[in-house]
């Protein structure tokens, strides 16, 4: 597995099924993901995923592909953001891997980001703190949505 370049985790006081729904239902995603992003995907492995919205006052359209989809257990997708100012090439994609674990009434959600092609770039190292802050904010929003 590629080296982790960012990691965030949150404990959610809700069963995995409820957390999974908040993680994959487009209407619920819109309430917490990167400034109310619209997410379009079939959730099938190999199919595209598209994120559109406004983040910090700028419109964005990020993209990727579903890599893993195991209901109530794991969701992973590749992710490319033109906002990073890099060309749309494989080495500029990240892998976002989200796992769910826990008991009947509580779910631990862990998100790990790595470079899709392996290794760690100097830019990933330099941006690690910002990546982790952004992902933690997203997971905190997921918690608020899932616990509501």
* Residue 2 scores a pLDDT above 90: no
Higher-scoring residue by pLDDT: 100, 34: 100
- C-alpha 7/C-alpha 60 separation (Å) is 23
- C-alpha 38/C-alpha 21 separation (Å) is 15
Identify which of 118, 119, 103, 96 has the alpha carbon closest to the alpha carbon of residue 7.
Answer: 96
The full 3-state SS of 53-67, as one line of letters, equals EEECCEEEEEEEEEE
pLDDT in tens, 10-30: 999 999 999 999 999 999 998
pLDDT in tens, 64-85: 999 999 999 999 999 999 888 8
Domain limits of the chain? 4-147
* Residue 1 scores a pLDDT above 60: no
Residue 101 · residue 108 · CB < 8 Å: yes
- C-alpha 54/C-alpha 111 separation (Å) is 22
Out of 3.40.50.620, 3.30.530.20, 3.90.79.10, 3.40.50.300, which CATH number does the structure's domain 4-147 have? 3.30.530.20
Coil, helix or strand at residue 24: helix
pLDDT in tens, 98-148: 999 998 899 999 999 998 777 776 777 777 888 899 899 999 999 999 999
């Amino acid at each position: 597995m590629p080296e982790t370049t960012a990691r965030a985790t949150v404990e959610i006081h809700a069963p995995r099924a409820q957390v999974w729904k908040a993680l994959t239902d487009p209407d619920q995603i819109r309430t917490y993901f990167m400034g109310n992003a619209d997410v379009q995907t079939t959730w099938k492995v190999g199919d595209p995923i598209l994120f559109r919205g406004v983040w910090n006052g700028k419109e964005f359209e990020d993209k990727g592909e579903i890599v893993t989809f195991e209901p109530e257990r794991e969701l992973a997708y590749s992710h490319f953001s033109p906002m990073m100012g890099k060309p749309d090439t494989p080495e500029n994609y990240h892998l976002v891997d989200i796992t769910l674990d826990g008991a009947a009434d509580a779910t631990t959600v862990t998100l790990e980001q790595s470079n899709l092609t392996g290794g760690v770039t100097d830019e990933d190292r330099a941006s690690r703190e910002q990546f982790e802050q952004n992902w933690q904010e997203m997971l905190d929003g997921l918690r608020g949505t899932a616990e509501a």
